Each structure stands twice: as structure tokens, then as C-alpha cells.
Amino acid sequence: EESVVIPTIKLNNGMSMPVLGYGTWLGFNDQMEIDMPSYKKMVDALEYAIDIGYRHIDTAHLYRVEPEVGEVIEKKIKEGVVKREDLFITTKVWQHYHREKDVEVSVRDSLRRMKLDYVDQVLVHWPMSHNQEGVDEKIDYLETWRGFEAVLKAGLTKSIGVSNFSVAQLKRLIASSKVVPATNQVEGLLPLLSNIKCAYNRNTTPLARRDARSQRRTRQRNKGYRGRELSENLLPTTVNSFNKMFYHWNIRLKSGTNTRQVNLNFPQHELVDYCKSQGIVVVAYAPLGCLVPSKNFPNSPEPKLDNPQMVAMAKKHKKTVTQIVLRHLYERGLVSLPKTVTRSRVLENASIFDFKLDADDTKVLESFNNGYRSNPLLWYINFEHYPFEKVVSGAVSLLLGRTGRPSGKEIARSA
Ligand code: NDP
């Protein structure tokens, strides 16, 4: 039967959050642009998700699908499938709105786009701030958080949380704020939360200039974005260049001798333990990591969907490999947000509450911990509030320190 019952977890303000939510980030296409054309499939999949029992939806200003998310919610309420209070809707404030007074502007815009009176949670999407040109504004996230406390007080949201915050940033935030974040949404990579260690110094200007033309085209397209008002340039101008550069780099960095520099074992047990000690629920984004083909680079680390150990484990439990992974995150006490625009996977990903992993399974799952982060946002690495570790390794920093993309030869030499 096509229905699921998703358990909930208590937040530090007494609210209940379903432990599995529907992720609405459409991802990048091959051109490293947001895959907007797939929004129609997303609408269909989200409707289906609510029909079968999903109650938690994760979206963001950045994702550009708030209008669609709102339409689906309206439809499902009209049809009597759910009531507004049955749903847990999270959105996020993007990095252009980090000034205290701008937070309310951003939240009100999100509410208007979704045609809602309130959301259940708003997150600081990233600790860094930047203007529309992608320049670091260095706004203290403590200021941003004051804006968050204000929207909470004003009733625009039922809870507030953060995303991509490090332990140090959380400690600082908690020490000087009234409200403790309800959640920290971070990469929930299989099998452990982990960090990439890789850094470079960069000068964005020539790259930005080189990409100015394609960026103008992007802005043009965004302007016409289905007749909606989302005309602003949400990503810094350099993102596409860096995405592309990172793509080329990644292939090399994750292979051969350079593997050492990226895959330093660095599980974020500390982050999870700290959050738990403070009553902050850890929400895992990108829960499938590089397991699935769309997230794979050549040579990205095991396991992939066809990994023999994973396949055997799945067979043992009469489940799929993705279900094993999502179950593991659940057993670690994490909330996860798998994204899929495919109906069958919507059902598959939530059908994980009727079996248990044993100690042997967990051992195998933990053996895959290799410190690989699939979403390091390297283009922000020199920003004041960049949350992840920076480890400068000779060859990497040397090559990335200069402007322009390294040639194949240079990459080969660095490895
Ligand atoms: P996911 O780990 O959810 O992976 C999504 C990919 O996996 C898609 O290509 C999807 O394909 C595929 N997939 C999903 N289920 C299955 C399955 N059962 N079998 C095989 N393939 C499957 O990555 P996301 O990056 O999308 O992260 C999930 C959500 O987390 C986002 O949508 C967003 O809401 C949130 N997020 C938050 C971030 C933050 O900074 N706070 C950053 C990144 C994500 P298909 O859709 O074609 O079915």
C-alpha cells in the first residue's frame, strides 16, 4: 500500500519535526546551472509525497521553487489531504539578507511566495554573507541571528535554526543569544558527517570578469523566470566558474596520490555530539552523498549504489541500498532530507521505518567514512565566516592560488 508513517523528533521548543523531509533543491545540470526545468516533476513528486504521508518540506529562497511549494500546499489543503498545522515547512534566508533588518524582508518574501501566514522553521542558510556581486560583506551572524529572533517573536515562524554552522560558530552564537537554534542543517554524508580538508587562496576578479557574459545571460533568464519576481542574482558571480573549476579539480583530487589531501578522515562526531548536548537537532542534507550517479564524480569514494557490501546488506534486509543509508542516518538520531523528483523513490526513501540495522551492518557502514564532503562550497573558502576546515596543501594551494583554471598538464603534475 502506498503510504508511510514518518516518526517525529522533539525540538528544543517543544515542536515535533518529522524525521524525514522532502528536499526541494533541484540541483545543478551539466552546465552547473540550477536545473529549473525539472520543477514540474518536483511538483508532481511533492504532491505524491504529501498524499502518501510526508509532512516535512525543506525549501529555501535560493531554490526558486517557493511559489510551486506554496501551490502544492494550497492544493493539498483544499483537497483535505492535510491541514496546515500537520505540515512542517522550512525555508532559509540567503546570504544577501544577513543584516538584522533584512531578515524580516526575506522571510516575508518567502511567505508571500508560498502564500503562507507562517513557516515552521527558518534557517540561516550559511554563516557567510555576501552582496549580489558575490563580495564578502562580513556581516556577523550574531547580527543575523538577532533578526531571526525578531521574526520568531513576530510569529512569522514557529522556530529558528541554522545551517552549515561549525561547532565554534554554534558555541559563539549560543553564548551571546537569547534563543538556542532548534536545528543545525548540515551535510549528512554517508555514513558519517564529515569534512573535506582542502583549501586554496584565490582571486576571483579575473574569473568573474571572464564569466561576466554568461552571468548576464543567467540574470536575463532569471528575470523572465516564469513571470515571477525572482530576478535577483542569488549566487555570487563567481559560483559557476568555481563550480566548473572545482569539477575539473575534484576529478583529479579524488584520484591517485592526491586522495590523501581531500580524504583526511575527519568524521564530525564532534559536531553531532555537541548539537545533541545542546538540544539542537541535526538535520542531514544531501543524505545520499555521492552514492547516487547524479552526485558522482569519476573516482568519488565508495560506496556507490552497486557496492557489493551495500548490495549484500540491502539483500539481507530486503531493502534497497538507499534505504539502508537513510535508515542508518535515522538510527544515528539525525533528521534527513532526501531529494527526488521520482515518485517511486519518494515512496522508497520513506519506507525505512520497518526494519533495523545490526551491529555488523553499522560496522560496514562506518568503514566507509573517508572524510569526503560533497558540498564544500570552495568558492567561499576565503570568506570571513566560512565554516569548514581549511588545510593548505602545497600543490593545491599553489595551483588554486593563481587565477584561471589549471591546464590538464598542471593538474597531472600536481598529483
Ligand atoms: P540527495 O542526497 O537528496 O540526492 C539527490 C539525488 O539522489 C537526486 O539526483 C535524486 O534523483 C537521487 N535519488 C534520490 N532518491 C534516490 C533513490 N532512492 N535511488 C536512487 N537515486 C535517488 O541530495 P540533495 O543535495 O538534493 O540534498 C537533499 C536536500 O537537502 C535538498 O533538496 C535541500 O532541500 C537540502 N539541502 C540543503 C543544503 C543547505 O545548505 N542547507 C545544501 C544541499 C541540500 P531524482 O531526483 O532524479 O530522483
Which sequence spans correspond to the domains of the chain? 8-414
Residue 115: per-residue pLDDT: 95
The complex's ipTM works out to 0.98
DSSP state of 344: H
Residue 32: per-residue pLDDT: 57
Residue 390: per-residue pLDDT: 63
Cell representation of residue 28: 545543478
Ligand 1 binding pocket includes 58 (Cβ within 6 Å):
yes
Q: Is 63 a catalytic residue?
A: yes
Cross-strand partners of 88: 56
Of the residues 39, 63, 330, 380, only one is catalytic, namely 63
R_g of the chain computed on alpha carbons? 21
Cell representation of residue 373: 564532503
- Report whether 157 contacts 107 (CB < 8 A): yes
Residue 173: per-residue pLDDT: 97
pLDDT, one tens digit for every residue, the chain (415 residues):
699 999 999 999 999 999 999 999 987 765 556 777 888 999 999 999 999 999 999 999 888 899 999 999 999 999 999 999 999 999 999 888 999 999 999 999 999 999 999 999 999 999 998 876 667 889 999 999 999 999 999 999 999 999 999 889 999 999 999 999 999 998 765 433 222 222 222 223 333 344 455 455 555 545 444 434 343 445 544 444 444 444 434 433 333 322 222 222 234 677 888 999 999 999 988 888 777 777 665 556 778 888 899 999 999 999 999 999 899 889 989 899 999 999 999 999 999 999 999 999 988 888 877 666 666 666 677 788 988 766 433 333 333 443 333 334 433 333 3
- Dist. CA 285 → ligand 1 center (Å): 8
Residue 227: per-residue pLDDT: 36
Give, in degrees to the nearest 5, the angle at Cα 149 between 143 and 151: 110
d(CA 404, CA 210): 9
Nearest CA residue ID for atom 14, ligand 1: 340
Ligand 1 binding pocket includes 24 (Cβ within 6 Å):
yes
Residue 217: per-residue pLDDT: 52
Residue of 25, 58, 185, 344 with the most ligand 1 atoms within 8 Å of its CB, for mutation: 25
Residue 225: per-residue pLDDT: 43
- Report whether 315 contacts 1 (CB < 8 A): no
- Dist. CA 22 → ligand 1 center (Å): 9
Ligand 1 binding pocket includes 36 (Cβ within 6 Å):
no
Q: Give me the CATH code for the 8-414 domain, please.
A: 3.20.20.100
Ligand 1 binding pocket includes 336 (Cβ within 6 Å):
no
Residue 197: per-residue pLDDT: 27
Ligand 1 binding pocket includes 22 (Cβ within 6 Å):
no
Neighbours of 153 (CB within 10 A): 11
Nearest CA residue ID for atom 8, ligand 1: 340
Residue 299: per-residue pLDDT: 56
| Alpha helix positions (H), 231-389 | 239-253, 259-262, 269-277, 308-317, 321-331, 343-350, 359-367
- Dist. CA 395 → ligand 1 center (Å): 32
